[in-house]
Amino acid sequence: MEQINVALSPFTRRSRSLAVSHQTLGLGRGLEPGEHVLIHDPIADEHFNAVVADIHFDLDDTAYRLTVGGRITAGEADEWMAPTGDDDSLTTRDIVDLLAELRRGERDISAALAGIRTR
């Protein structure tokens, strides 16, 4: 999981949406749509989960639109950044991943049903 260090403005906190630049962040790899990331606001020393909602490619850079989720504790952030263990314990990260998967499935089903209704 990638951690993004960026100060969140009051507008970003309200809108729950953040645009970031690949080059500015100095990411080691590209992010994928739907990928979960961790945001750390070093000014407020707060952590948030987020999902890559959109990607825009330019010749010089890649921009990501992140949907900012809920605030998590520093301990949970450490847990999220740790490699996935082999034990059977359920972590907060596992639960968030499952909920995101359910939401994606719900959107897919809703879109399919909407397509059937319009025919």
Residues 73-93 pLDDT 10s = 888 888 878 776 666 676 666
Structural domain count of the chain: 1
Residue 1 has a pLDDT of: 80
Classify residue 101: in a domain, yes or no. no
Look at residue 54 in the predicted model and tell me its pLDDT.
Answer: 94
Q: What are residue 67's DSSP bridge partners?
A: 17, 51
Structure letter (DSSP) for residue 7: P
Domain membership of residue 97 (yes or no) is no
pTM of the complete model beyond 0.95: no
Asked whether residue 61 is assigned to any structural domain, the reply reads: yes
Let me know if residue 46 belongs to a domain.
yes
Residue 90 in domain: no
Domain assignment of residue 16, given as a range: 2-84
**Domain contains 91:** no
Supply the CATH number for residue 44's domain: 2.40.240.20
Structure tokens at 65: 């639109």
Q: What is the pLDDT of residues 46-80, one digit of tens each?
A: 999 999 999 999 999 999 999 999 999 888 888 87
Q: What is the pLDDT of residues 105-118, one digit of tens each?
A: 777 787 777 777 76
Question: For residue 30, what are the CA distances in angstroms to 23, 24, 27, 93, 104?
Answer: 10, 13, 7, 21, 21
